[in-house]
Amino acid sequence: MSRKLIAQRTQDLDHAADYRSWREIALELDRLEGGDAWKQDDTSDDYDYLLIRERLTELRRLRQAGDARQLAFDLYEGLHGNLGNISSPLLYGGARVGTKRLIEEYIAEVTRCLDFVCAGDFADFGFEEKIQFFKRTAIAFGRSALLLSGGGTLGMFHLGVIKALHAESLLPRVISGSSAGSIIAGTVGTRVDSELDALFEPGGLNLDAFQALGLREALRGGAMMDGAQLERCLEANIGDQSFVEAFDHSKRIVCVTVSPAEPHQQGRLLNYLTAPHVMLRRAVLASCAVPGVFPPVMLQARNYEGQIVPYMPGKRWVDGTISSDLPMLRIARLHNVNHYIVSQTNPHIVPFMAQIDRQQQGRRGLAPLAAELVKSGGSGALSLARKHLDPYASGRVLGKIDNVVRQRYSGDINIYPRSTPRRILRTFSNPAPEDIQRYVRSGERATWPKLERIRNQTRISRAFEDCLRLLKGREHELLQQRGRPSVRRAAR
């Protein structure tokens, strides 16, 4: 009976209408399949449960004793996102929902301690010390970012990922996009939370981006699609905001990657720090300019008088995935990010994502080894070929291919669609409204099994952001009461 019930509930899981229903069924399956018993058992070879148990006991004791100074000292000295290996993917394979109860209790206690220190008034731990503690510890701990890959029309899958994260208040403030992913990142980055829900409704997003050119125009311009049509689509979705204007409105940090169309240039990560006055719409247009499909793009920026003018007018930019589909290193340096949630829809990468996930979970096999050998061998062969070819012709083309081969396409948590030939064949076609809803649904459903892991692994960094926001507001009020002018610094 139990086996039959498990089979039935597994089918029900595949047809759940929303995350709440999915989670209830998954929790029931955890009870039936033994996942609950696994979660209740603290012991495991995959993490240092003795260390976590000891830390949990000590933090709880200090909080209950009201010893804010010692508590802050212990948190500053010992807080780490992967303390005792608690972020290991192996610890999210024993149950459908969540992980070891000990880990969840530890994370919950850390956030309670942060809230306690933030909200309380302590005679021996003043406000200035409190501000300093939260700023320094937050920098040491780091935070998460959502990275949206390229993938043409397949990139509409990202919209479902955004919807699922937004519904659970788990959407990171740092969002990066390349090519198709930049469309979604730019659209979300120009909206506050209350404006997001409309995007997920039918007609909420203008995706009439592809308009084929005639043969003569295509041969003359070197591109099959009309760039002006794509720009009209982006203008409808993103509007006329610069990166810094979008940040001031939404408080989201939007990053867009672009690649150079000419030699002697490097790919760039554009955001409100590196290119504050560049027009977000034009950056996205450049990031979507797949060579041979759309023409290269000149960026634009708002000048001191507020006029839109050319930005580096002698340079043209193309598809961001060529130089950096997932710009992890640059985002880490600029925005203190050390944890990456990746939504991956590149058609040449998606077929391997399940193998990458299995490898992260410690399941070995020939497929991951073969993929790594092909990658390393292919890159070596390309590097050798580049040395013996004209650097301004074939060598430059091989250089771009080499960049694509060398890149890392996965993060700490990976979300990806089921690859189908039908979807790949429609990579550069305008999706019908019903197609968009299917992509959104696919993105949601692929995200649901990862939500509790995302919730656990981002909970402490989200607590830091909330506490710093409250403390900065209180600092502003205190300065006003003292009659001193305050400078409202933008959040990092």
Catalytic (active site) residue 319: yes
**Angle at the Cα of 345 from the Cα atoms of 163 and 210, rounded to 5 degrees:** 90
> Are the beta carbons of 365 and 358 closer than 8 angstroms?
yes
Give the contacts of 367 (CB within 8 A, at least 6 positions apart).
355
Residues 6 or more apart whose Cβ sits within 8 Å of residue 235: 281
Handedness of CA 460, 465, 469, 472 (dihedral sign): positive
Among residues 30, 319, 325, 402, the one annotated as catalytic is: 319
Q: What tokens does 363 get?
A: 């399941």
Q: Are 49 and 102 in contact (CB under 8 A)?
A: yes
Quick check: is 412 catalytic?
A: no
DSSP 242: B
**Nearest by Cα to 415 from 247, 163, 61:** 163
Catalytic option among 87, 144, 179, 242: 179
- Distance between CA atoms of 123 and 121, rounded to whole angstroms? 7
The catalytic residues are: 179, 319
